[in-house]
Amino acid sequence: MTLWKEFAKGWVIENPILVLALSLCPALAVTSSVVTSLTMGLVVMFVITSNNVVVSIVKKLVNPKVRVPVYIICIATIVTLASLLLQAYAPLLYKALGIYLELVVVFAIILARAEVFASKNNVGRAFLDGFGMGCGFTFAMLIIGVIRELLGNGTILGINILGTAYEPALIMILPPGGFLLIGYLVGLFKLWNMHMEKRQRIRGEAA
Amino acid sequence: MTHDNNDSIFKVAFNLIGACIISGLIIGAVYSLTAATAAEKIVELKNASLQEMVADADAIVEIEGKHEWHEAIKDGEVVAYIVPAESKGYAGAIELLVSISPDLKVLKYSILESKETPGLGDKAKEPLFADQFIGKDAEHLEVTKDPNKTELIQSISGSTITSRAVTKAVKEALEEVTAFVQGGE
């Protein structure tokens, strides 16, 4: 049960973007279409999971005073390896990912999970935490991406949904629209979490 | 703060150095394994993108004395010149390949590298914008926001800078080819 919780918390209760409010910058920059949101989400999912595993393996060897630089080196190594392998075996995918891949190195959420969770837990739990957080990140990116592409371009995954009569709201594709939308979503997640907490409290009292 | 051995500056430094060395070794090892394949793939991709520029060409030959210039040959005649072009977009350089017909009109272009905003400047890759260039000569390579001026290039809404950059690069390529063709004859 607790293992399931480690995985599940990343989706809603501690959603990296919409509740922890980490990595908002990329969430804003690459979510103007569904494809880029999804790609970015999957890349982050991969890096955060493998980084959590590596950090939790080496946690005893790392001097606490330099733990942050060491974690950064670790993230950078994983990202570099991924980009080298993609370059050699999937050059088209590598081209599609472009600068996003290298940007992942500085994502706050990855460092945060290494520092807050992976450095204090065993490999299994760190893996689940990273995977869950990665899923939550992808989930949030996907929500933002779908709404922005739909309203800003009338399409989803490039397929026209709203018909030709729909006049796309350009602001949704531009950064201000992203900010507005993320604000509303943060509010929505907050409401949901409050609602769930309340329900749990009532249930707790009843029991 | 406890003053045990772990606080020694050397221990801290060695810890960091160790991490760097391990990371360097891993990256180095993987690089030496993948470098050859990656280089091959780059050449392959480049040839594919050249071939894509002029689909019905029999052969694509490099033009001597010109760096990275190619001519597409069909039935023994030159049907297109394929030249690289570059200009500064909204977010960094945009690199393109432009193919120009012997009568000095644009055949098409393809964007090799760009960092333009996805969903905005990125649309320069899509046919809606790119197809406008087909058959244009140097005079009509100009960006406009006026939808009535169909003889010019219609700007991508929200991405005027990208539209201008691409148009400028294509125009420069066309001018260079013009100079080359007329100089050669």
- Residues near A5 by Cβ (< 8 Å), separated by ≥ 6? none
pLDDT band at A131, cuts 50/70/90?
very high
The answer, for A153 touching chain B at a CB cutoff of 8 Å, is yes
Average pLDDT over residues B83-103: 87
| This prediction's pTM | 0.74
A84–B38 CB contact, under 8 Å = yes
B94-131 pLDDT, tens digit per residue, is: 888 888 888 888 888 888 878 777 667 778 888 888 88
Among A53-57, A87-91, A178-182, B26-30, name the one with the lowest average pLDDT: A87-91
pLDDT band at B140, cuts 50/70/90?
confident
**B77 in the Ramachandran plot: left (φ > 0), alpha (ψ -120 to 50) or beta?**
beta
Q: Which of A77, A85, A173 sits opposite B34 (nearest CB)?
A: A85
Predicted pLDDT at A78 = 92
Assess whether pLDDT exceeds 70 at residue A50: yes
How would you write chain B as a 3-class SS string? CCCCHHHCHHHHHHHHHHHHHHHHHHHHHHHHHHHHHHHHHHHHHHHHHHHHHCCCCCEEEECCCCCCCEEEEECCEEEEEEEEEEEECCCCEEEEEEEECCCCCEEEEEEEECCCCCCCHHHHHCHHHHHHHCCCCHHHCCEECCCCCCCCEECCCCCHHHHHHHHHHHHHHHHHHHHHHHHHC
- What's the whole-number average pLDDT of chain A? 85
A143-158 pLDDT, tens digit per residue, is: 998 998 888 878 787 7
Predicted pLDDT at B118 = 65
Predicted pLDDT at B1 = 46
B174-184 pLDDT, tens digit per residue, is: 888 888 888 76
Find which of B2, B20, B21, B34 to mutate to test the A interface (most A CBs within 10 Å of its CB): B34
Predicted pLDDT at A120 = 87
Residue B34 contacts residue A86 (beta carbons within 8 Å) = no
Task: Please state, as a whole number, how many other Cβ atoms lie within 10 Å of the Cβ of residue A37.
Answer: 25
Assess whether pLDDT exceeds 60 at residue B4: no
Among A98, A131, A101, CA closest to A117: A131
What's the total number of domains in chain A? Answer: 1
Q: Which residue of A has its CA nearest to B14?
A: A63
A32–B118 CB contact, under 8 Å = yes
Residue B98 contacts residue B82 (beta carbons within 8 Å) = yes
More confident residue, A64 or A77: A77
Cβ contacts of B20 on chain A, cutoff 8 Å: 73
B119–A153 CB contact, under 8 Å = yes
The residues pairing with B70 across neighbouring beta strands, listed in sequence order, are B62, B82
Residue A125 contacts residue A57 (beta carbons within 8 Å) = no
Q: Tell me whether 0.90 is exceeded by the ipTM.
A: no
Predicted pLDDT at A51 = 92
Q: Which of B12, B26, B158 sits opposite A81 (nearest CB)?
A: B26
Among chain B, residues having any CB pair with chain A shorter than 8 Å are 6-7, 11-12, 15-16, 19-20, 23, 26-27, 30-31, 34-35, 37-38, 41-42, 44-45, 115, 117-120, 157-158
The domain containing residue A27 runs over which residues? 3-206
Average pLDDT over residues A76-105: 83
Average pLDDT over residues B45-73: 79
